[in-house]
Amino acid sequence: MYHPVRDCITSLFLPHGFPDSVSDDYLEYQLWDTLQAFSSSVTGSLATHALLRGSGVGDSSATVTAATITWILRDGTGMVGRILFAWMKGCRLDCDAKRWRLFADVLNDLAMFIEILAPVFPSCFTLTVCTAGVCKCIVGVAGGATRAALTVHQARRDNMADVCAKDGSQETLVNLAGLLVSLLLVPLVSDSLWGTHLLFLVLTGLHLYANYRAVRSVVMETLNQSRLAIVLEHFLLEGQILRPAQANHKEPLFPGLGSQVSVDVGVSLNAVVSSVSQLNLLQKGNDCRYLLGWRRDTGGLAVVLHRGAGSADVIRSVVHAEILNRKTSCSDPARYSILAETHRQVSRMFPDFCHGLRASGWVTDRNLLDSDDWRANWDINKGL
């Protein structure tokens, strides 16, 4: 049946071909994302009000020059923070998009809280504003990059631009609604410090909850280290492969949580091997396109990839690292014999594991295992 109003709203705010043109988790994610954007818009108005008051708006003794200098310092420190954060964490944002998305929203709330507190400490106003500016610029990098990663996941018909554009339309509408509500609420609490803080806490609680639900609703079919560790653990215990929805539901969303092994994938051969004899030990029993060993500098597990290694080889190397980590440590004198033993174990179980991944809906022709670009060349058959 033709519904002109519904069809008009759908064409304005949802991607063409919805729901078939997007992932199954699209609608639930967007609903929670809309709620968090609305609460963030209102708290942003509170923060802006506090910054303007702290800058001297309404104060006859304040000068335009002082306010301009404060804003310049705020923008400048934020730009430096943006560059440094992108340099330090840029390659990790794709691998843990959901975790960094939630991190960005928590940091954004912290930045607005700092801005609201800024007028309370006028002697430290510039320092406080600059700190908040750095936080917000980091939010811009982390939030924007992870939003792009989630858009790639949601777009199922090579329609990433359309999904991104409609997301922008939704956000614009929500921000407009937030501005209208702010026009009503901000004058009511503008003269009350406690009222401002109470409203901020209520909206921040709503914002964080909506963000958590939004991120938790995302079901990604590509494997990162957290999801691979969860799937592998269940396979070793139960002999079954978890489906993407089951593993994503168990994926930790906060830093420091999760039991995945720390392994550097795609390091240079020199980072692991110092002699020909050591190379022979790593190749013993090894018939695959990677060398698993221990870094010479830190002692942590690391993987050297063969120049012919594909996505399945990368997944296998991390699976091997997870299994090896359960059986040995970097100081174990028998670690090389245990390494050869685990090579045989992985050779037996990985074909069934990889087939189960594909049958359960996981994508194996690409991954999010944070592999570096180093590649080496050696005789694969030497370990046979």
61: tokens are: 């003794």
**In this prediction, what percent of the chain has a pLDDT beyond 90?**
47
For residue 55, what pLDDT band results from cuts at 50, 70 and 90? low
- Rounded mean pLDDT, 276-282: 83
Q: Which residue has the higher pLDDT, 4 or 366?
A: 366
How many Cα atoms occupy the beta-carbon half-sphere of 374 within 13 Å? 16
Torsion of CA 37, 43, 47, 53, to 10 degrees: 130
- The mean pLDDT value of the chain amounts to 87
Q: With a cut of 80, say whether residue 64 has pLDDT above it.
A: no
97: tokens are: 């998009």
Q: Given this structure, which CATH class describes domain 4-218?
A: mainly alpha
pLDDT in tens, 318-366: 999 999 998 876 667 778 888 988 999 999 999 999 999 999 999 999 9
Cα gap 36→41, rounded to integer Å:
9
Q: Which of 16-20, 57-61, 265-269, 320-324 has the lowest mean pLDDT?
A: 57-61
Cα gap 61→304, rounded to integer Å:
65
Name every residue whose Cβ is closer than 8 Å to that of residue 35 and which is 6 or more positions away in sequence.
Answer: 206, 210
Please give the pLDDT value at position 335: 83
For residue 120, what pLDDT band results from cuts at 50, 70 and 90? confident
Whether the model pTM is above 0.85: yes
- Rounded mean pLDDT, 276-283: 83
pLDDT in tens, 174-222: 999 998 998 888 888 877 778 888 888 999 999 999 999 999 999 999 9
- Check whether the bond before 19 is cis (ω within 30° of 0): yes
Please give the pLDDT value at position 382: 59
Please give the pLDDT value at position 384: 42
Torsion of CA 141, 143, 144, 147, to 10 degrees: 150
Please give the pLDDT value at position 331: 64
- Rounded mean pLDDT, 9-23: 88
Please give the pLDDT value at position 116: 87
Cα gap 172→308, rounded to integer Å:
47
Phi and psi, residue 313, nearest 5°: -70, -40
Q: What is the 3-state secondary structure (H, E, C) of the chain?
A: CCCHHHHHHHHHHCCCCCCCCECCCHHHHHHHHHHHHHHHHHHHHHHHHHHHHHHCCCCCCCCHHHHHHHHHHHHHHHHHHHHHHHHHHHHHCCCCHHHHHHHHHHHHHHHHHHHHHHHHCHHHHHHHHHHHHHHHHHHHHHHHHHHHHHHHHHECCCCHHHHHHHHHHHHHHHHHHHHHHHHHHHHHHCCCHHHHHHHHHHHHHHHHHHHHHHHHHCCCCEEEHHHHHHHHHHHHHHCCCCCHHHHHHHCCCCCCCCCCCCEEECCCHHHCCCCHHHHHHHHCCCCCCEEEEECCCCCCEEEEEECCCCHHHHHHHHHHHHHHHHHCCCCCCCHHHHHHHHHHHHHHHHHHHHHHHHHCCCEEEEEECCECCCCECCCHHHHC
Cα gap 54→73, rounded to integer Å:
15
Q: With a cut of 80, say whether residue 70 has pLDDT above it.
A: no
Please give the pLDDT value at position 333: 73
- Rounded mean pLDDT, 273-283: 84
> For residue 113, with 0-12 CB atoms within 10 Å meaning exposed, 13-18 middle and 19 or more buried, which class applies?
buried
For residue 57, what pLDDT band results from cuts at 50, 70 and 90? low
For residue 290, what pLDDT band results from cuts at 50, 70 and 90? very high
Residue 199's CB is within 10 A of a number of other CB atoms, namely 18
Please give the pLDDT value at position 226: 93
Name every residue whose Cβ is closer than 8 Å to that of residue 232 and which is 6 or more positions away in sequence.
Answer: 319, 322, 323, 353
- Map out the domains of the chain as residue ranges: 4-218, 223-383
- Rounded mean pLDDT, 119-130: 83
Please give the pLDDT value at position 90: 75
Cα gap 351→288, rounded to integer Å:
12
Phi and psi, residue 18, nearest 5°: -55, 140
